[in-house]
Amino acid sequence: MRSLLPLLLSLCLTVKSLPVNGYDDLEPQQQQLNQMNAKPSSTPKQIHSHNDYWREKPLFSALELDITSVEADVWLSPETGVLLVGHKSNDVKAAQADQKTLQSLYLDNIYNILEKHNSYTSQSSPGPNNTDKAERGWNGIFEYFPNQTLYLFIDFKHNSEDTYKAIQSSLEPFREKGWLTYHNETSNTTYEGPLTVIGTGETPLNLIIEEKFQRDIFYDAPLHNLNETFSAYNNKVSIFASSSIKKVMTCNQGISRVASNRGLDDNQIDCVLKAINQAHELGLMTRIWDTPDWPLAKEKIVWSQLLFLGTDYLNADDIYLARSFDTSFVRGTASGAVPLLI
């Protein structure tokens, strides 16, 4: 494990112009984003827009940056049966008054984009990185990356079984079009669609496991706890494994915070690498949330460490910072490194 430390330290020290107080690079960051937005990205971005509904333009702020994963916290209204979007229970009344629903902020908009992209007379999307639509049966939400699925994380906040049923009903129009990623137990095959729905928070695992013919809501497995219920979490039931960095980095009873501005310590690195490797052995992608967000130099160092250790998606509250993150870093694992995707 210690053999990784020199390279990790080298990565940390090569962050370009990291500010001490966190303010120095905001203006160049915006300039860089302006350049990014002037032309399509070369690749879709493996970034997760955490609490996406707080953004100025929910869903669309992320899509404009080619970010491929978004998250909404959902509450089922006991009075109306509507799926409301908000972080805490006291947000529900405001969400109802403002008509901030899963349907209005996400599902309707995603459906409309997919309907537009799949109504082309040509079998192929105009994007440069497309494959023939006839081979997969759909064009995705990203015009220049038509074979890229969008991950929609739905955080169940309460009343999980009724919420699950309401979400299943809301997804029926996508199901009818063949636009949902789903797993079929009979054929033991997962069929990818342009929308992949992940249940997190209080999502009822038992209901997901019970879906045999078309399981199209997948369970966000606990990255820090895969070993205790090893048989339940696999790529038939889950696509992602996620946890807070606090839970992931304390497997050896180490300290539960990133104490140093140089990032994770030796013991924490060992825990994170162990969790990521275990998820990958199960065929799951990884996402680690609640990483340090201040100072910015520390945040970027921890991000670089997580990416080098092999995490698949960068969890971000500040998607503009994540989008402009220095692409000279590498994404890889202990067994090798590949070019960074963001």
Is 91 found in the same domain as 7? Answer: no
Q: Is residue 324 part of a domain?
A: yes
Q: Which domain holds residue 177?
A: 54-219
- pLDDT number for residue 134: 60
Verify that 120 and 248 share a domain, yes or no. Answer: no
Q: Residue 339's pLDDT is what?
A: 34
- 78 plus 204 within the same structural domain: yes
Do both 232 and 213 map to the same domain?
no
144: which residues sit within 8 A by CB, 6+ positions away?
Answer: 40, 41, 66, 125, 127, 128, 129
Residue of higher predicted confidence among 135 and 325: 325
pLDDT (0 to 100) of residue 328? 43
Q: In the predicted model, is pLDDT for residue 25 greater than 50?
A: no
Mean pLDDT of 103-128: 80
Classify residue 176: in a domain, yes or no. Answer: yes
Do 273 and 334 meet the contact criterion of CB atoms below 8 Å apart? yes
Structural domain contains residue 182: yes
Considering only residues 341 and 8, tell me which one the structure prediction assigns the higher pLDDT.
Answer: 8
pLDDT band at 135 (very low <50, low <70, confident <90, very high): low
Average pLDDT score over residue span 48-52:
96
In terms of domains, do 141 and 240 share one?
Answer: no
99 shares its domain with 226: no
Which distant-in-sequence residues (6+ apart) come within 8 Å of 307 by Cβ? Answer: 314, 329, 330, 331, 332, 340, 342
Structural domain contains residue 340: no
- Alpha-carbon distance of 237 to 239, in angstroms, equals 7
Last residue of a domain, one of 168, 187, 219: 219
Pick the residue with more confidence: 20 or 60? 60
- The DSSP bridge partners found for residue 191 are 182
Based on the domain organization, do 108 and 5 belong to the same domain? Answer: no
CA-based radius of gyration for the chain: 20
Same domain, 83 and 35: no
> 121 and 24 in one domain?
no
Residue 319 inside a domain? The answer is yes
Question: Which of these three, 175, 191, 219, is where a domain ends?
Answer: 219
Alpha helices in the chain (DSSP H): 5-13, 26-37, 60-64, 92-97, 102, 108-117, 133-136, 160-170, 172-177, 205-210, 245-248, 266-281, 296-309, 319-323
Q: Is the pLDDT of residue 108 over 80?
A: yes
Kindly tell me if the per-residue pLDDT of 330 is higher than 70.
Answer: no
Pick the closest to residue 301 from 20, 2, 3 (CA basis).
20
Same structural domain for residues 109 and 242? no
Cβ neighbourhood burial of 123 (10 Å; 0-12, 13-18, 19+): exposed
Pairing of strands 67-76, 150-156: parallel
Encoded tokens for 179: 């636009």
Asked whether residue 336 is domain-assigned, the answer is no
Residue 337 lies in a domain: no
In the prediction, which pLDDT does 227 show?
Answer: 73
Structure tokens at 134: 């006839």
More confident of the two residues 56 and 328:
56
Whether 2 is in a domain gets the answer: yes
Q: Read off the pLDDT of each residue in 294-315 and give the average, rounded to a whole number.
A: 92
Confidence of residue 130 (pLDDT cuts 50, 70, 90): low
pLDDT at position 53 over 70: yes
CB 241 within 8 A of CB 225: no
Q: 241 versus 122: which is more confidently predicted?
A: 241
CB atoms within 10 A of CB 214: 12
Q: Which of the pair, 334 or 69, is modelled with greater confidence?
A: 69
- Three-state DSSP at 311 gives coil
Considering the domain architecture, whether residues 64 and 201 belong to the same structural domain is answered as: yes
If asked whether residues 73 and 197 sit together in one domain, one would say yes
**pLDDT tier at 253 (50, 70, 90 boundaries)?**
confident
In this prediction, residue 231 carries a pLDDT of: 60
3 state SS of 285: strand
Q: Give the count of domains, the chain.
A: 2
* CA count, 13 A, side-chain hemisphere, 62: 30
Domain boundary among 164, 197, 219: 219
